[in-house]
Amino acid sequence: MFEDRYHPAVKKDIRKIDATARKDIKAEWIPRLLADPYCGEELTGSLSGIHSFHFKIQRVDYRIAYRIKKNEHIVEVLMIGKRESFYEILRRRFK
């Protein structure tokens, strides 16, 4: 099991998500990601080195962008949000 760490902007991301989905993300999807961080797809191009974990809550697509620090057993969560404009916002955040 990996330990989780969060980018400071993730707090703002979480506030934009409705309460029910927020609960599901914390209770179900984050633990699932920490149990197997390699289940997400590795991004390419300007976002290489970042993984993206995809899931649905009530027919809405969500993404979690993260980096894996293998030696430290840490998953660094960089962004959480709905699929719309997710990758554009992620690129702007990490220019």
With a pLDDT cut of 90, the percent of the chain lying above it is: 95
Q: What pLDDT does 1 receive?
A: 87
Instruction: Please state whether 49 falls in left (phi above 0), alpha (psi between -120 and 50) or beta.
Output: left
pLDDT at 48 over 90: yes
- For the chain, the average pLDDT equals 95
Question: Residue 78's CB: how many other CB atoms inside 10 A?
Answer: 22
CA distances from 46 to 2, 42, 58, 88 (A): 25, 12, 31, 11
Using only C-alpha atoms, the chain has a radius of gyration, in whole angstroms, of: 12
Please state the CATH superfamily assignment of the domain spanning residues 3-93 in this structure. Answer: RelE-like (3.30.2310.20)
Tokens linked to 31: 């633990």
Q: For residues 5-22, give the mean pLDDT.
A: 95
Q: What pLDDT does 95 receive?
A: 73
Tokens linked to 57: 């809550």
Q: Could you read off the pLDDT of 52-69 as tens digits, one per residue?
A: 999 999 999 999 999 999
